[in-house]
Structure 1
Amino acid sequence: MRYQDWMAFAGRCLIAALFIAGFVQKLADPAPAVGLLRDAGLWGWLVWPAALFNLGAALALIAGVFLRPMAVALALYCMATSYFHLIPDDPWQMSIFVKNWAIAGGCLVLGAQGGGRLVLRRGVQRVECDR
């Protein structure tokens, strides 16, 4: 394995950690997320599909399964959820807003470049030659 494959795996795990934390946070104390949803005129119960998406997406990133479409879905999720943090008078919320867009950028890079060779695959694994 090349060091790039290990770096890609580490990067996927670090991005996944954020979404695992989001899952745990929504599970342990859903009230803040429910409040954000309701303040935006949405149903509070949407916190549960969001929590499950956080967990499923994180596990997919770590395992490297459905990596490219999941990375694009996560980028779109981060872009959409950044709306809840677009509060120009609150520097803390604005930093979360910018971080969401930065994470979306990292996910788009994963979607474009893939996640290296350390991924779960069925059947024979394709081996690439070093360039």
Structure 2
Amino acid sequence: MQRWNNLASLAGRVLIAALFLAGAVQKAIDSAPAGEMLVNWGLPFGLVWVAMVYNLGAAVALILGIALRLVALSLALYCMVTSFFHLIPDDPWQMSIFVKNWAIAGGCLVLAGQGGGAWRLRFAP
């Protein structure tokens, strides 16, 4: 049973990380859509690059299990905050992204609370 729990935890971490890896790649290839959302909210376009680096770093940390609880908690908060960029009730597509962000935040909160299983990197103090 423990082997299954560790496998499920690793698979869950990799699947959640895949979303953030894709976000980093999307921002690197075509930053305009994300940048436009930021600018529409009165924020600087350059935050796209900060988000890209954060998405990439957090995804790698999730996969490897480095600082897992802290990274998962930060990703949950990131998803909650960025969900409001998609809170456009007249646009069903944007509303689905809004709801997905909250669902992903929930998964990250579970990781933050429960940990990511035994199959991860740990560093001795």
- What's the CA shift for 1:122? 3.1
- What's the CA shift for 1:73? 0.1
User: Which residue of the partner structure matches residue 59 of structure 1?
Assistant: 60
Asked if 1:75 is matched to 2:76, the reply is yes
Once the two structures are superposed, the pairs formed by residues 1-131 of structure 1 within 5 Å of their partners are 2-123=3-124
Identity of aligned residues (%): 64
- Please list every run of 5 or more consecutive structure 2 residues that lacks an aligned counterpart in the other structure: none
Matches of 1:25 and 1:77, distance apart in 2: 17
Matches of 2:123 and 2:70, distance apart in 1: 17
SS at match of 1:2: helix
The RMSD of aligned alpha carbons is: 0.8
Matches of 1:121 and 1:69, distance apart in 2: 13
Query: Number of residues paired by the alignment?
Result: 123
TM-score (norm 2): 0.96
- What's the CA shift for 1:107? 0.1
TM-score (norm 1): 0.92
- What's the CA shift for 1:17? 0.1
- Please list every run of 5 or more consecutive structure 1 residues that lacks an aligned counterpart in the other structure: 124-131
- What's the CA shift for 1:53? 0.3
- Structure 1 runs of 4+ aligned residues shifted over 3 Å read none
Which structure's CA Rg is the greater one? Answer: 1
- What's the CA shift for 1:121? 1.8
